[in-house]
């Protein structure tokens, strides 16, 4: 990459020195012959010097590495200079066409034909050599700025050849229309080249995607077995380099290290086709459904794990939070249970790159705890439950309220009767409202609500008769 940059600088230096020599020769010829054509060419060559100086400094700037203000480097400097130079070429085309019209109206008398012909021949040969050199180096180093120089050289040749032919023709005749006709044709050719350069450089400046590149890169990435889906491929040109941004998802629950290795492999595949590409691979996190599968697969690998349940998945600011319960063999020690918990967490953090908060509740598969159960007879609690029934709309009856106390925690469980045709979503809302109200008023840790449809009077009588029968 560095050798390419210095190669472009060397080419610009050679062109600059050569154009200065050509300008000096044209100035001498203009002074000796008094030719307006040569005077115009002298001014045009001075403009060429200014253009090449701009190209030289543009190449130096484009070599600078990325900095605080230019995170992607300075590669577009070349395209900016190419755009400006294309505008200069357009101006030259206009000048040529204007001169062609003026020569029709006011023919120019040229003296010292031999000196003029000799010097224009010399400068034309130098311009031809510069055109070939700049064209080859622009292709070799993929430089828009050097390509602009080559087009400028072509413009000089397109004017020099008809001027030389005109000088020879005028030396033997006084016909000027041939000069005008050839100049117009070559101006049209030059205008077409300027338009192409303007289109190409403006496309780079405006981040137009190179034709077909994104599709080819997408095909390369899709052909890799581990890739499940290619979300998008974005490509833009930075001078002679490509910047590639690929977003994708992987097929399985790979660890961070494995995903990083896959990303490196994809980058190498792309760079094997586009050598100077700057590639960024973004691997998207799994969806919630995929995350639950990942949790179950990782947790179930340990033989001491009997079950995993109550999985809750949350997202906040691009991070994933997990809460779930794991049932373990009751015979293992607390230390072993802690080791299993840490191992599960470590594996999950590798499998889910954007995992933030994680809470794993470890419990025995047949957990038994001593508890005190008592029916609600406290007048205050009963009154609060009745208040909840009255406040929350849709409640038919609350019954079988029981307080369970275990390990310093207090659980209130009760049965909540609703109308049989109550939609399930509405039933859930009512239960949530009752739960929130009782937690706030009674200070219990949990409220367990059993939802059931409201029984008819006949059903109640029948149920009471059955429950009252002796065994």
pLDDT digits (tens, 9 = 90+) for 4-31: 666 777 887 888 888 888 888 888 887 7
* pLDDT at position 459: 46
**What is this structure's pTM?**
0.43
* pLDDT at position 95: 78
Residue 102, CB half-sphere, CA atoms under 13 Å: how many? Answer: 10
For the ranges 230-244, 332-346, 435-449, which has the lowest average pLDDT? 230-244
Higher pLDDT, 242 or 253: 242
* pLDDT at position 462: 46
Residue 78 has pLDDT above 70, yes or no: no
User: Could you tell me where in the chain the CATH 1.20.1510.10 domains are found?
Assistant: 2-205
What CA–CA distances, in Å, run from 395 to 67, 402, 428, 460? 67, 18, 12, 17
Q: Which DSSP category does 252 fall into?
A: S
Is the domain defined by 372-468 classed in CATH 3.40.309.10?
no
pLDDT digits (tens, 9 = 90+) for 311-367: 888 776 667 888 888 888 877 777 788 888 888 988 888 878 778 888 888 777 654
* pLDDT at position 465: 40
Please name which of 23, 31, 74, 91 lies closest in space to residue 52, comparing C-alpha atoms. Answer: 23
For the ranges 60-74, 223-237, 338-352, which has the lowest average pLDDT? 60-74
- How would CATH label the architecture of 2-205? Up-down Bundle (1.20)
CATH of domain 288-364: 3.30.70.1350
* Mean pLDDT, all residues of the chain: 76
User: Could you tell me where in the chain the CATH 3.30.70.1350 domains are found?
Assistant: 213-283, 288-364, 372-468
Is the domain defined by 213-283 classed in CATH 3.40.50.300?
no
DSSP 3-state assignment of 244?
Answer: strand
pLDDT digits (tens, 9 = 90+) for 250-288: 766 566 677 788 888 888 888 888 877 788 888 876 565
Query: What is the pLDDT averaged over residues 213-219?
Result: 86
Which strands form 319-328's sheet, in the order they lie side by side? 305-316, 319-328, 355-364
């Amino acid at each position: 990459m560095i050798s390419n940059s210095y190669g472009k600088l060397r080419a610009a230096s050679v062109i600059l020195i050569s154009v200065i020599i050509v300008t000096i020769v044209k100035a001498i010829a203009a002074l000796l012959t008094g030719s307006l054509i040569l005077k115009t060419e002298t001014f045009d060559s001075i403009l060429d010097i200014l253009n090449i100086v701009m190209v030289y400094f543009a190449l130096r700037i484009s070599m600078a590495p990325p900095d605080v203000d230019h995170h992607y480097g300075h590669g577009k400097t070349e395209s900016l200079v190419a755009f400006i130079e294309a505008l200069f070429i357009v101006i030259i085309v206009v000048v040529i066409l204007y001169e062609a019209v003026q020569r029709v109206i006011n023919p120019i008398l040229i003296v010292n034909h031999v000196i003029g012909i000799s010097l224009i021949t010399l400068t034309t040969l130098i311009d031809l050599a510069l055109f070939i050199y700049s064209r080859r180096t622009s292709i070799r180093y993929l430089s828009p700025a050097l390509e602009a120089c080559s087009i400028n050289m072509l413009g000089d040749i397109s004017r020099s050849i008809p001027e030389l032919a005109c000088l020879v023709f005028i030396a033997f005749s006084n016909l000027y229309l041939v000069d005008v006709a050839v100049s117009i044709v070559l101006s049209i050719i030059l205008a077409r080249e300027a338009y192409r350069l303007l289109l190409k450089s403006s496309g780079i400046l405006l981040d137009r995607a190179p034709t077909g590149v994104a599709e080819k890169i997408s095909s390369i990435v899709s052909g890799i077995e581990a890739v499940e889906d290619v979300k998008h491929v974005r490509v833009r040109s930075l001078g002679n380099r490509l910047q590639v941004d690929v977003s994708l998802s992987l097929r399985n629950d790979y660890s961070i290290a494995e995903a990083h290795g896959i990303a490196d492999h994809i980058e190498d595949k792309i760079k094997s086709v586009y050598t100077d590409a700057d590639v960024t691979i973004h691997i998207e996190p799994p969806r919630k459904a995929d995350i639950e599968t990942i949790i179950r697969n990782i947790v179930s690998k340990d033989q001491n794990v009997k079950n995993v349940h109550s999985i809750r998945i949350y997202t906040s600011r691009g991070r994933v939070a997990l809460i779930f319960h794991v049932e373990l063999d009751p015979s293992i020690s607390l230390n072993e249970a802690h080791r299993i918990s840490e191992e599960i967490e470590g594996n999950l953090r590798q499998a889910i790159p954007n995992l933030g908060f994680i809470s794993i509740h470890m419990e025995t598969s047949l957990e038994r705890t001593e508890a005190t159960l008592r029916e609600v007879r406290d007048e205050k609690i009963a009154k609060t439950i009745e208040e909840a029934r009255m406040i929350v709309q849709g409640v038919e009856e609350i019954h079988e309220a029981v307080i369970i106390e275990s390990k310093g925690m207090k659980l209130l469980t009760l049965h909540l009767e609703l109308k049989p045709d109550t939609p399930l979503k509405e039933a859930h809302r009512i239960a949530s409202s009752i739960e929130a109200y009782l937690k706030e008023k009674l200070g219990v840790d949990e409220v367990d609500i059993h939802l059931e449809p409201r029984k008819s009077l006949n059903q109640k009588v029948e149920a009471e008769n059955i429950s009252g029968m002796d065994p």
